[in-house]
């Protein structure tokens, strides 16, 4: 069978990562977490003291760090200049700053190239999750899914994942990040015209996985 390319987009807390990993594992496809790539470049900029208030400072160094993503859904790795950053990219500091970095066109051009190369080299196909995969990165994907959920459901899921955080502050931070990601000029978070929208508010993770697996199988 020819490789199948699946784009899964949506705001934070909709279950994109859990769903994408499980679908890829179940169908023996590769997996790419594009948010991890933007987090990795943000981590590098924070570590190197780049002024994130200054888009031209960000643009000037966008090509410097070498970012490598492993595409095994059972063990999705990410390194920056050879260093494992899977832990450090999940801190609240990186989470709060990633939208400023991902809004810069030079960063997006660079990361988009990496994404297209990985998608093109996946022999059986790939599940790619992010914000602009269906609209910009892989406009010819075989299947595009746009996951949504109510703000309450998304905040509850996120504060469940982050131990010690309360639902209220998680909700504020999450809505702020989504607003920034949706309103930027460079490839904002958006549903592609030909994407299938799945509202996960009332669904269990298992139900969302089953729904997306069925949609992929219809395309295979």
Is 17 labeled as ligand-binding?
Answer: yes
- Least gap, CB of 77 to ligand C5P (angstroms): 15
Q: What is the spatial distance between Cα 58 and Cα 184, in angstroms, rounded to a whole number?
A: 15
- Least gap, CB of 32 to ligand C5P (angstroms): 10
Is 13 labeled as ligand-binding?
Answer: yes
Going along 114-171, which residue ranges are E strands? Answer: 125-130, 143-148
Q: Toward ligand C5P, which CB reaches closer, 67 or 133?
A: 133
Is 16 labeled as ligand-binding?
Answer: yes
Sign, CA dihedral 139-143-149-154, equals: negative
- Least gap, CB of 145 to ligand C5P (angstroms): 14
Is 14 labeled as ligand-binding?
Answer: yes
Is 15 labeled as ligand-binding?
Answer: yes
Sign, CA dihedral 151-37-120-21, equals: negative
Give contact residues for ligand C5P (rule: CB under 6 A).
12, 34-35, 38-39, 98-99, 102, 130-133, 177, 181
Q: Toward ligand C5P, which CB reaches closer, 2 or 163?
A: 163
Specify the length of the chain in residues: 220
Is 18 labeled as ligand-binding?
Answer: yes
Q: What is the DSSP letter of 187?
A: S
Q: Toward ligand C5P, which CB reaches closer, 29 or 132?
A: 132
**Helix/strand/coil for 159:** helix
**Helix/strand/coil for 49:** coil
Q: Toward ligand C5P, which CB reaches closer, 39 or 216?
A: 39
- Least gap, CB of 103 to ligand C5P (angstroms): 7
Q: What is the spatial distance between Cα 153 and Cα 169, in angstroms, rounded to a whole number?
A: 14
- Least gap, CB of 19 to ligand C5P (angstroms): 12
Q: Toward ligand C5P, which CB reaches closer, 146 or 181?
A: 181
- Least gap, CB of 122 to ligand C5P (angstroms): 17
Q: What is the spatial distance between Cα 210 and Cα 102, in angstroms, rounded to a whole number?
A: 31
Among 75, 67, 72, which residue's Cα sits nearest to residue 102? 67
Q: What is the spatial distance between Cα 16 and Cα 101, in angstroms, rounded to a whole number?
A: 21
Q: Toward ligand C5P, which CB reaches closer, 28 or 163?
A: 163
Q: What is the spatial distance between Cα 153 and Cα 41, in angstroms, rounded to a whole number?
A: 29
Is 125 labeled as ligand-binding?
Answer: no
Annotated binding residues, written as ranges, equal 10-18
Annotated binding residues for ATP, written as ranges, equal 10-18
């Amino acid at each position: 069978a020819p490789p199948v390319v699946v784009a899964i987009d949506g705001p934070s807390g909709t279950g994109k990562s859990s769903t994408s990993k499980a679908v890829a594992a179940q169908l023996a496809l590769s997996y790419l977490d594009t948010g991890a790539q933007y987090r990795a470049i943000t981590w590098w900029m924070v570590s190197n003291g780049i002024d994130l208030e200054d888009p031209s400072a960000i643009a000037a160094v966008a090509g410097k760090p070498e970012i490598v993503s492993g595409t095994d859904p059972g063990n999705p790795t990410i390194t920056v200049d050879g260093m494992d950053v899977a832990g450090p990219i999940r801190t609240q500091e990186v989470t709060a700053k990633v939208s400023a970095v991902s809004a810069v066109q030079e960063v997006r051009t660079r990361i988009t190239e990496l994404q297209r190369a990985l998608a093109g080299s996946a022999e059986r196909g790939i599940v790619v999750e992010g914000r602009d995969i269906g609209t910009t990165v892989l406009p010819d994907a075989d299947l595009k899914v746009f996951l949504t959920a109510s703000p309450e459901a998304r905040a509850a899921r996120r504060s469940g994942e982050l131990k010690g955080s309360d639902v209220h502050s998680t909700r504020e931070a999450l809505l702020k990040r989504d607003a920034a990601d949706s309103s930027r000029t460079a490839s904002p978070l958006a549903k592609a015209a030909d994407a299938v929208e799945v509202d996960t508010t009332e669904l269990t993770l298992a139900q969302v996985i089953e729904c997306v697996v069925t949609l992929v199988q219809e395309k295979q």
